[in-house]
């Protein structure tokens, strides 16, 4: 009798992209985690933080793709605040000359508009004890060093026209999960995809162990 090799069934297309929760009204501040079936080289096994989402479309940055260019080569004033790896990350394939900055603050008080401590260009994305939001990279970071715990700079972004992201989610290209404050400025970006999926538990935790090439296991 010949050896029979059982071909595993890919179960990921059957998973609810929202993990059983109701889809949020806006995905701003949420993470898009690529499903194993997403083969686009720009986004395969990537994690995206959604910076803006509405009827007009969506915009986000890839959190786990270091770009290899040192921050001090382009914006030396931000070097001391950049969390290692201190590189300009590749935020996405759109407008690669556009620079976007995210910062993590030491406390909610640092982000309070009324306190006057809010960094220039601040827009809250991940509400936590140590919140994360966007910052104006043209502002003087020395004026913010007391409130900023870490910074990450991105070149380019990912963009979707109206309804396009929703269609990709319906096609099971993305899981949509809540972001944690440590995600956008992680010191281990290469492990982010696995970590985010693993902490969801259940089926998504199983997906975190899915090999890059299913034919090789």
User: Cα 58 to the chain's mean position, in Å?
Assistant: 13
pLDDT tens digit at each of 217 positions of the chain = 444 444 344 545 456 888 777 888 999 999 999 999 899 999 999 999 999 999 999 999 999 999 999 999 999 999 999 999 999 999 999 998 999 999 999 888 877 653 456 677 889 999 999 999 999 999 888 777 778 899 999 999 999 999 999 999 999 999 999 999 999 999 999 999 999 999 988 888 888 888 876 554 4
Please give the sequence-ordered ranges of beta strands (E in DSSP) within 6-127, or none if there are none: 30-34, 47-54, 57-62, 66-70, 87-90, 94-105, 123-126
CA 2 to chain centre: 47
pTM, 2 dp: 0.88
SS3 45: coil
- Going from N- to C-terminal start, the domains of the chain cover 12-201
List, in order, residues 6 or more apart from 81 with CB less than 8 Å away. 103, 141, 144, 145, 148, 150, 151
Query: Would you state the pLDDT for residue 122?
Result: 86
Q: What is the Cα 38 distance to its own chain's centre?
A: 16
Q: Of 192, 148, 210, 215, which Cα lies nearest the Cα of 33?
A: 192
| pLDDT of the residue at 143 | 76
Q: Which residues pair with 176 in a beta bridge?
A: 32
Q: Does domain 12-201 have CATH number 3.40.1740.10?
A: yes
């Amino acid at each position: 009798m010949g050896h029979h090799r059982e071909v595993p069934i890919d179960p990921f297309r059957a998973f609810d992209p929202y993990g059983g929760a109701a889809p949020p009204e806006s995905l701003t501040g949420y993470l898009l985690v690529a499903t194993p079936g997403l083969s686009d080289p720009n986004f395969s096994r990537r994690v995206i933080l959604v910076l803006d989402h509405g009827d007009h479309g969506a915009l986000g940055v890839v959190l786990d793709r270091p770009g290899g260019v040192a921050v001090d080569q382009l914006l030396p004033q931000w070097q001391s605040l950049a969390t290692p790896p201190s590189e300009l990350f590749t935020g996405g394939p759109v407008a690669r000359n556009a620079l976007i900055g995210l910062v993590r603050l030491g406390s909610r008080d640092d982000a309070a508009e009324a306190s006057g401590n809010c960094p220039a260009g601040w827009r809250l994305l991940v509400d936590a004890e140590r919140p994360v939001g966007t910052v104006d990279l043209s502002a003087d970071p020395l004026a913010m060093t007391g409130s900023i715990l870490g910074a990450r700079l991105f070149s380019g972004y990912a963009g979707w026209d109206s309804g396009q992201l929703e269609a990709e989610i319906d096609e099971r290209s993305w899981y949509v999960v809540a972001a944690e404050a440590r995600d956008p400025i992680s010191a281990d970006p290469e492990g982010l995809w696995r970590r985010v999926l693993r902490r969801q538990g259940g089926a998504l935790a199983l997906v975190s162990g899915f090999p890059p090439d299913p034919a090789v296991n």
